């Protein structure tokens, strides 16, 4: 028996690929559409006139009031578990200091770490939860979230436990990642031992206690070297964690090569990326996750070369990078506007980048990322006429309604508004 019939959709748009290796970013559009949901999955997608003929009588109905229906958005790179804020640093940067200078003076990630290490799990949960709620209001049904502001293992463990608690309290799907971000201040004299402990004790423990499903490392000048990052990620792989890398944010750090060599699920940031590195990533099937809001917010680096990445056959996803230092936003739609303007991506490429290719970055594209028979019924509804408008309205765009697994988990209290 079908569980829910969603009707009165003015336009349904979804990425579609005949086979998973196909790179052409086709978007299927169905005007006057409807969706039939059985349990938590999509049973049928089609035009309303034909679908209404086949639905069983008395099927509960949801009237979409002429909204645009898209797959639930996937934010595949965020750091939303932290306490306090770093608004001062934002203004210091605008007054001329660089991100790396602020970090070298004990600010940046170390400043967040001091606050996290002084906080309880409950406080971390309480301060972080609203960020997940705002993300949901932006149409995000699956969110990847990293630890990374504890630095010391005790702090990291606290963040991963806070994430597990948050997972119980939010309707979205959560992918948890253990991020080895920078060396803790207290271990400056002790770098080798820190790295050894991470490899032999911490990473296997994260995997065996199921605290995260993936491992990430900040491979950059001032964070971890190629060799250190390689050791962490290899230990992660050996413990069956998925692998991803913060790569090439401030220079050619070796992160992109490393991602290709280890066949990481994604390489993220990629502001400094040449054609050789792009070729390696494309060949290894690594998704390039670009984070244009962090480039915007830091105000200093080039935007990633998304056009060249696409031309070389790379899958490109877009994520918020939500974090207190370089990207204080939960708005994935805002990131679309940034990528449209600065990376010259088309409406179809943008849609793919926050749905099916973002799902691919999380290696979850067989379940989520498109509105197709058999996929999980994660849908975002918008008071917009078409996909072109999704990046055109910027700064305040919210979803009108959201379903996760066929359950309505969010409705804008002013859903009558049309953008
Ligand atoms: O992805 N680049 C490394 N990590 C974060 C920023 C962390 C911070 O500044 O708090 C990022 O941009
Ligand atoms: Fe990040």
Phi, psi of 191 (to 5 degrees): -60, -45
Looking at the domain assignment, is residue 416 inside a domain? no
**Does residue 162 form part of some domain?**
yes
- Closest ligand (CA of 219): 1
8 CA from centroid of ligand 2 (Å):
39
Residue 323 CA: nearest ligand 1 atom is: 10
Contacts of 299 (CB under 8 A, 6+ apart): 93, 94
The domain boundary, picked from 322, 338, 361, lies at 361
Question: Are 286 and 267 spatial neighbours (Cβ–Cβ below 8 Å)?
Answer: yes
> Do 205 and 136 sit in the same domain of this protein?
yes
pLDDT tens for the chain, residues 1 to 419: 458 999 999 999 999 875 656 667 899 999 999 999 999 999 999 999 999 998 988 999 999 999 999 999 999 999 999 999 999 999 999 999 998 899 888 899 999 999 999 999 999 999 999 999 999 999 999 999 999 999 999 999 999 999 999 999 999 999 999 999 999 999 999 999 999 999 999 999 999 999 999 999 999 999 999 999 999 999 999 999 999 999 999 999 999 999 999 999 999 999 999 999 999 999 999 999 999 999 999 998 999 999 999 999 999 999 999 999 999 999 999 999 999 999 999 999 999 999 999 999 999 999 999 999 999 999 999 999 999 999 999 999 999 999 999 999 999 987 556 77
The reply to whether 18 and 40 lie within a common domain is yes
Q: For 190-205, what is each residue's pLDDT tens digit?
A: 999 999 999 999 999 9
Q: Which residues pair with 267 in a beta bridge?
A: 245, 288
- Which of 157, 181, 211, 225 lies closest to 79, judged by CA? 181
Task: Locate the ligand 1 atom nearest the alpha carbon of residue 103 and give its number.
Answer: 9
One domain for residues 240 and 322: yes
- State residue 24's pLDDT score: 75
> Token pair for residue 123?
């406080």
> Quick one: 110 and 52 in the same domain?
no
User: In this structure, what CATH number is given to the domain that contains residue 204?
Assistant: 3.20.20.140
- CATH number of the CATH domain containing 35: 2.30.40.10
Contacts of 311 (CB under 8 A, 6+ apart): none
Burial class (CB in 10 A: 0-12, 13-18, 19+), 10: middle
Q: Is 418 within a domain?
A: no
What are the φ/ψ torsions at residue 56 (nearest 5 degrees)? -60, 150
Q: How many Å from the N-terminal Cα to the C-terminal Cα in the chain?
A: 36
Half-sphere exposure of 46 (CA within 13 A, CB side): 11
C-alpha 183 – ligand 1 centre gap (Å): 14
Same domain assignment for residues 37 and 169: no
Q: Contact at 8 Å (CB) between 241 and 212? A: yes
Task: Confirm whether 137 is domain-assigned.
Answer: yes
Q: Is 324 left (phi over 0), alpha (psi -120 to 50) or beta?
A: alpha
Are 240 and 321 found together in one domain? yes
Cα(390) to centroid(ligand 1), Å: 26
Convert the chain into a string of H (helix), E (strand) and C (coil). CCCEEEEEEEEEEEEECCCCCCCCCEEEEEEEEEEEEECCEEEEEEEHHHHHHHCCCCCCEEEEEEEEEEECEEECCCCCCCCCCCHHHHHHHHCCCCHHHHHHCCCCHHHHHHHHHCCCHHHHHHHHHHHHHHHHHCCEEEEEEECCCCCCHHHHHHHHHHHHHHHHHCCCEEEEEEEECCCCHHHHHHHHHHHHHHHHHHHHHHHHCCCCCEEEEEECCCCECHHHHHHHHHHHHHCCCEEEEEECCCCCCCHHHHHHHCCCCEEEECCCCCHHHHHHHHHHCCEEEECHHHHHHHCCCCCCCHHHHHHCCCCEEECCCCECCCECCCCHHHHHHHHHHHHCCCHHHHHHHCCHHHHHHCCCCCCCCCCCCCCECCEEEECCCCCCHHHHCCCCCCCCEEEECCEEEEECCCCCCCC
What's the gap in Å between 255 CA and the centre of ligand 1?
A: 15
Q: Is the domain of 315 the same as that of 390?
A: no
How high is the pLDDT of residue 218?
98
Q: Would residue 419 count as lying in a domain?
A: no
Strand partners, 38: 41
Same domain as 128, residue 274:
yes
How far is the C-alpha of 146 from the C-alpha of 124, rounded, in Å?
Answer: 13
15 and 129 part of one domain: no
Parallel, antiparallel, or unpaired for β 266-269 and 287-290? parallel
Cα(63)–Cα(85) distance, integer angstroms: 41
Owning domain of residue 270: 74-361
In a domain? residue 392: yes
Q: Which atom of ligand 1 is nearest to the CA of 99?
A: 9
pLDDT tens by residue, 225-254: 999 999 999 999 999 999 999 999 999 999
Q: Which ligand 1 atom minimizes the distance to the CA of 324?
A: 10
Which of 81, 131, 177, 181 has the most ligand 1 atoms within 8 A of CB, as the residue to mutate?
181
The 140-146 sheet, strands edge to edge? 73-75, 140-146, 173-180, 214-219, 242-247, 266-269, 287-290, 316-318
The total number of structural domains in the chain stands at 2
Strand partners, 174: 143
Same domain, 177 and 110: yes
Distance CA 121, CA 119 (A): 7
Same domain, 165 and 206: yes
The two structure tokens encoding residue 218: 């900040």
pLDDT of residue 414: 72
Asked whether residue 376 is domain-assigned, the answer is: yes
**Are 19 and 128 part of one and the same domain?**
no
Measured in Å, residue 76 CA sits from the centre of ligand 2 at 10
């Amino acid at each position: 028996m079908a569980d829910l019939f969603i009707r009165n959709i003015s336009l349904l748009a979804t990425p579609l690929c005949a086979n998973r290796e196909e790179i052409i970013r086709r978007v299927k559009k169905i005007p006057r559409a409807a969706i039939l949901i059985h349990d938590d999955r999509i049973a049928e997608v089609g035009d309303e006139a034909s679908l209404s003929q086949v639905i069983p009588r008395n099927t509960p109905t949801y009237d979409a009031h002429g909204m645009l229906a898209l797959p639930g958005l996937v934010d595949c790179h965020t750091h939303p578990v932290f306490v306090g804020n770093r608004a001062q640093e934002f203004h210091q940067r605008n007054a001329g200091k660089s991100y790396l200078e602020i970090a070298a003076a004990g600010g940046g990630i170390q400043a967040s770490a001091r606050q996290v290490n002084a906080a309880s799990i409950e406080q971390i949960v309480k301060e972080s939860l609203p960020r997940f709620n705002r993300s949901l209001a932006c149409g995000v049904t699956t969110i990847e979230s990293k630890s990374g502001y504890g630095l010391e293992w005790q702090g990291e463990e606290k963040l991963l436990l806070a994430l597990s608690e948050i997972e119980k309290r939010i309707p979205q799907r959560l992918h948890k990642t253990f991020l080895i971000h920078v060396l803790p201040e207290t271990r400056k004299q002790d770098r080798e031992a820190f790295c050894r402990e991470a490899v032999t004790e911490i990473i296997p423990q994260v995997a065996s206690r199921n605290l995260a499903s993936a491992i990430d490392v900040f491979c950059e000048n001032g964070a971890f070297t190629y060799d250190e990052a390689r050791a962490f990620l290899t230990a992660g792989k050996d413990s069956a964690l998925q692998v991803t890398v913060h790569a090439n944010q401030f220079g050619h750090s070796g992160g992109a090569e490393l991602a290709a060599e280890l066949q990481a699920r994604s390489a993220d940031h990629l502001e400094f990326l040449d054609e050789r590195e792009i070729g390696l990533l494309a060949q290894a099937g690594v998704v390039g996750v670009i984070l244009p809001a962090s480039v915007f917010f830091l105000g200093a680096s080039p935007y990633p070369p998304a056009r060249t990445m696409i031309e070389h056959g790379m899958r490109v996803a877009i994520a918020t990078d939500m974090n207190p230092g370089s990207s204080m936003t939960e708005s994935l739609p805002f990131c679309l506007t940034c990528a449209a303007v600065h990376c010259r991506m088309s409406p179809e490429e943008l849609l793919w980048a926050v749905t099916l290719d973002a799902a691919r970055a999380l290696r979850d594209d067989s379940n989520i990322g498109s509105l197709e028979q058999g996929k999980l019924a994660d849908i975002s509804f918008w008071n917009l006429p078409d996909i072109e408008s999704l990046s055109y309205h910027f700064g305040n765009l919210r979803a009108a309604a959201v379903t996760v697994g066929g359950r309505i988990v969010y409705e804008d209290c002013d859903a009558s508004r049309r953008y």
